[in-house]
Amino acid sequence: MNEDIMRTVLILGGYGNFGKRIAAALAAKGIDIIIAGRSADKAKTLADSLGTQARYAAFDANTDLADQIARLKPAVVVNTCGPFQEADYRIAETCIEAGTNYVDLADGRDFVTGIASLDEHAKAAGVAVVSGASTVPGLSSAVLEQYAPFFSRIDRLSFGISPGQRAERGLATTRGIMSYVGRPLKPFPGFRQPAFGWQDLYRQEYPVLGKRWMANCEIPDLDLLPSRYGIGQIRFSAGLELSLLHLGLWGLSWLVRAGLPFNLPEMAGPLLAMSDWFNSLGSGDGGMHMIIEGADQDGEPVTRKWFIVARDGTGPHIPTIPAILLAERQARGERLAPGAHPCLGLVTLDDYLAELKPLGIEAFEA
């Protein structure tokens, strides 16, 4: 097969919040990309801005993907079309049937943990299917892979993300969060049950950023990380920079919990637009924290704290890195093991941070 065709990456949702960053990064590396979405104008505009490495295609991935894969012959399909909390596996299954590798940025708990249901099919087709190639569990597992050798056991993991108010926010991500605000979360190890979305508030101290409010969120790591790393207790939270907005959403969570007929996912667009009214009160600075507690190799208590801080609106680049690195590898001819699985330990922390360094995004240890 032609070498240029083998190097092509097809990006679904390629002009969206994450897709456009993946497209720009891969094009800058000399990888041929195809920016795909329903809007030909938006896809063409972005492709034209990225130069000769970029082409575009306009189609509906849910109905036309098989024909487009046959026509475009990509080495790998990168799926950024969230929210994945509401998605099925038809896109991944289409890629398997076409013999084309697949990577997504899913953060839906059931979606990512359930991707293994496609494992036998993917292996039979010789196709690699990777779900959750994003901050969670891509970056979170990379941090744990780095620190696990210091521990004989991990008793507790507390981690979370707090984006800057002025960092670009996508509608799909917002809709995904709204799907579980005020609703009971599936059980997870070591936390009182039931836990509810965007409740159990606490304040987290970050280097540079100061303190941020945090609240419960539903992510695949709550299932994946305890089983892989033997973690006794786990808690993941997210927070908004502005207390007014964070506590306002917390208030909405109580109304949902009380049974009022709010359909917050359907309100995601207006709520996102309203939040932009407050941008002048916030910054573009956000971060992620991971606090790992347990015993060292001598059985003594040990705590390791890891933070990453993104300034000036660079935070939305962080979730894109695993997909960029995995797509680049496959476009350059590296073969990932066939099968369907979450993005656990597939990207090293060193490689992750090296990709972020030109953006001025920094990691801190304590």
Domains of the chain from N-terminus onward? 3-135+316-365 (3.40.50.720), 136-310 (3.30.360.10)
* pTM for this entry: 0.95
H or E element that contains 180: none
| CB 113, CB 188: distance < 8 Å | no
CB atoms within 10 A of CB 115: 25
Strand partners, 303: 293
Q: What is the DSSP letter of 117?
A: G
- Pairing relationship of beta strands 54-58 and 128-131 according to DSSP bridges: unpaired
| CB 182, CB 256: distance < 8 Å | yes
Task: Return the sign of the alpha-carbon dihedral for residues 249, 131, 184, 236.
Answer: negative
Q: What is the DSSP letter of 135?
A: I
What is the reported pLDDT for 28?
Answer: 96
- Pairing relationship of beta strands 9-12 and 33-37 according to DSSP bridges: parallel
Task: Find tokens 């941090």 and name the residue.
Answer: 143
Q: Counting runs of H as helices and runs of E as strands, what totals does the chain give? A: 14, 14
What is the reported pLDDT for 190?
Answer: 86
Radius of gyration, CA atoms only, the chain:
20
What is the reported pLDDT for 192?
Answer: 78
What is the reported pLDDT for 81?
Answer: 95
- Give the chain's residues under pLDDT 70: 1-6
What is the reported pLDDT for 191?
Answer: 81
| Ramachandran angles phi, psi of 118, nearest 5° | -95, 5
| CB 212, CB 223: distance < 8 Å | no
The Cα-based distances of 319 to 31, 209, 252, 259, 331 in angstroms read: 19, 19, 27, 33, 20
| CB 308, CB 163: distance < 8 Å | no
